[in-house]
Amino acid sequence: MKIKTFIFNPFQVNTFVLYDETLEAAIVDCGCYSEAELNQMLDFIKSENLNVKKIIITHPHLDHIFGVADLKKALNVPVYAHVKSASFVTGADSDAKAYGFDGVKSFEIDETVEHGDTIAFGSTKLEVLYTPGHVDGSICLYHKSTSELFSGDVLFKGGIGRTDLPTGDYGMLIDNIRSKILTLPDETIVYPGHGDSTTVYDEKMNNPFL
C-alpha cells in the first residue's frame, strides 16, 4: 500500500490518499477547506490514474470533514464512518461557524462501520478499531499486512487527543489506546490526524500520557 499525505486547512489535518498496485484508492479524513486544496488532491489522483472507491472518516470533527461533500460530489464515491458519527456530521455546519469558518457543506454517510469490520479497496484491507474517548465515533484503521495504523486524533507522536470537547472521556481514551493500539506489534507505524508519524514502540516508551 502506498500513502500520499496532504496537510490541509488551518488545523493542519493530515489527509491520506491510500492506494495499491490495482490503482484503487481510498481517502482518509478529507480536510480540504479551500478549492485550491481540493484541486491539489484531485490533481494528484488524476496524475496517478487512481480510481478512488471510498472516503473514510476517522472521526467527525469539522477539521477532518471540511472537504468531504465536495470530494464526494467530484468523484461520486461513498462515505464510510462509524455509526455514532452521524449526529456530529449533522451539526458540523453550525460548529464550523462557531469557530469563525464559513461552514461545512452537508453530506450523507453512506456506509457505517463497527469495531472489527473490514474496509477494502483493491487488494488492501483495513481493519476498523473503534476507539472513542476523543469523541464518539472515533475509529482507527489498521493495515495488518504492513503494520500501519491511521489513528485519527486518538494517538499522536508524544500525545493523545483532547478530551474536553463533547463526548470526550479521558479514561475511555487511555483505555482504548492501551487495549487496542499498544497491543499491536511494536513496529507498527502510526499515522495520526495531525503531526508526524510514530511507532507503537516509541509511544510505549516515550509518550508521557501512557
Map out the domains of the chain as residue ranges. 2-206
pLDDT tens sequence for the chain (210 residues): 999 999 999 999 999 999 999 999 999 999 999 999 999 999 999 999 999 999 999 999 999 999 999 999 999 999 999 999 988 888 777 878 877 888 788 899 999 999 999 999 999 999 999 999 999 999 999 999 999 999 999 999 999 999 999 999 999 999 999 999 999 999 999 999 999 999 999 999 999 999
Q: And the C-alpha cell for 6?
A: 496532504
- Kindly report the pTM of this predicted structure: 0.96
How high is the pLDDT of residue 88?
80
How high is the pLDDT of residue 93?
78
DSSP secondary structure code for residue 42 in this structure: H
Question: What's the CA gap between 79 and 111, in Å, rounded?
Answer: 6
3-state secondary structure of 22: coil
3-state secondary structure of 20: coil
Question: What's the CA gap between 10 and 137, in Å, rounded?
Answer: 23
How high is the pLDDT of residue 18?
98
How high is the pLDDT of residue 22?
98
Question: What's the CA gap between 95 and 111, in Å, rounded?
Answer: 23
How high is the pLDDT of residue 54?
98
Give 146's contacts (C-beta < 8 A, 6+ positions apart).
Answer: 1, 189
Q: Which amino acid is at 201?
A: Y
How high is the pLDDT of residue 98?
79
Tell the CATH topology of 2-206: Metallo-beta-lactamase; Chain A (3.60.15)
Nearest to 93 by CA among 47, 131, 62, 55: 62
How high is the pLDDT of residue 160?
98
φ, ψ for residue 106, nearest 5 deg: -75, 150
Question: What's the CA gap between 39 and 61, in Å, rounded?
Answer: 22
